[in-house]
Amino acid sequence: MLKTVAVVVQEPVAVFELGVLCEVFGVDRTDDGVPAFDFRVCASRPGEVIRSTGGVGVVATHGLDGVRDADLVAVPAGSVEGPFEPEILEVLRETVDRGGRVLSVCSGAFTLAAAGLLTGRACTTHWRYAARLAELCPDAAVDLDVLYVEDGPIITSAGTAAGIDACLHLVRTELGSEVATRIARRMVVPPHRSGGQRQYVETPVPDQPCDSLQEVLDAVLEHLDGDHTVASLARQAAMSERTFARRFSAEVGTTPHQWLTAQRVLRARRLLETTDFDVERIARESGFATGAVLRHHFQRQIGVAPLTYRKAFTHQPAAG
């Protein structure tokens, strides 16, 4: 159970990424039915000002002893090249050895790499630093295309906003989708962003709006259960099929069929989480012809069967 969260800070700490962790885990939202976390900001020299990348100082309230019983130890973004404090690297290794989880935001993955925690694991970081991480940690499988990766007790996330996605994913896994949704609502962010995902990996879909296809995309999302083809979408966009397919790939970053399938799987996920509809009804409302077709695409994108997903992420009353 996720109860105690410790954030370890070292110079230079990135204040926005630190703020992401403070916002998700450090704000008291018990009035919304969210369980309170025992949240600690820890450093090797508590009480001293720690230099940040944003020109302000950060003062940790706890020493590294505050890390040793934490369920989750989080590392915000910071230095890519180091040096990394040996004491912090040691407590990160100890966390994994005793069965705790470790999460990094953005370039915080380099601290995990220095601790030896990424060796033999899948991981990610900000796209700008991915090649450097792969160079420093050749035994890690660095994935450029995901928002975050969970590999055993290690969760790594891409850029700043992806840190929110990773944190909310962890809350959903440990405390249920309703708790994650309540936190996300207070933060005014989606509980999870759209895109193809295996069980522990989320892949981003390029942000809208698009330059010339926004109206078409909006219309499709309003009627995902409709019979959409490249030909019909091209007619809506007043383009030839060839021009539409080329423009779609350039603006959205994928093919119309792949995008439409991903959006339908996302709709199915939401219905599995929030309703008791059977698979056949969810298939119809998501735009899949049959439950068998839904199962095929869901298994391919999410990595588990729809009913397995429902058992893991169904709506659960929040504690409180």
* Residue positions counted in the chain: 320
- The string of DSSP codes covering 81-114 is S----HHHHHHHHHHHHTT-EEEE-GGGHHHHHH
The topology under which CATH files domain 4-202 is Rossmann fold (3.40.50)
* CATH topology identical between 4-202 and 208-320: no
Spell 264-274 as b/e; 16+ CB within 10 A means b.
bbbbbbebbbe
User: Residue 279 pLDDT more than 90?
Assistant: yes
25: number of CA atoms within 13 Å, CB side? Answer: 33
User: Residue 204 pLDDT more than 50?
Assistant: no
pLDDT digits (tens, 9 = 90+) for 156-195: 998 888 899 999 999 998 998 889 989 988 998 877 664 3
Among 31-35, 123-127, 204-208, the least confident range: 204-208
Among 13-22, 250-259, 260-269, 293-302, the least confident range: 250-259
CA atoms of 95 and 73, how far apart (whole Å): 7
Residue pair 100/70 in contact by the 8 Å Cβ criterion = yes
Domain layout of the chain by residue ranges: 4-202, 208-320
Peptide bond into 76 cis (omega under 30): no
User: Residue 107 pLDDT more than 90?
Assistant: yes
Residue pair 129/110 in contact by the 8 Å Cβ criterion = yes
Q: What angle do CA 8, 12, 16 make, to 5 degrees?
A: 75
H or E, element range at 59: strand 57-59
| Residue 192 confidence (pLDDT) | 63
CA atoms of 246 and 251, how far apart (whole Å): 9
Q: The domain 208-320: what is its CATH number? A: 1.10.10.60
Instruction: Name which of 273, 108, 101 is nearest 180 in CA terms.
Output: 273
User: Residue 147 pLDDT more than 90?
Assistant: no
pLDDT digits (tens, 9 = 90+) for 56-77: 999 999 999 999 999 999 999 9
pLDDT digits (tens, 9 = 90+) for 30-46: 999 999 999 999 999 99
Contacts of 86 (CB under 8 A, 6+ apart): none
| Residue 266 confidence (pLDDT) | 87
Q: Where are the beta strands (DSSP E) in 140-213?
A: 141-142, 148-151, 154-157, 197-198, 201-202
| Residue 202 confidence (pLDDT) | 42
How confident is the model over 198-211, as a mean pLDDT?
Answer: 42
Banded pLDDT at 320 (limits 50, 70, 90): very low
| Residue 106 confidence (pLDDT) | 93
CA atoms of 26 and 39, how far apart (whole Å): 5
The average confidence (pLDDT) of the chain is 88
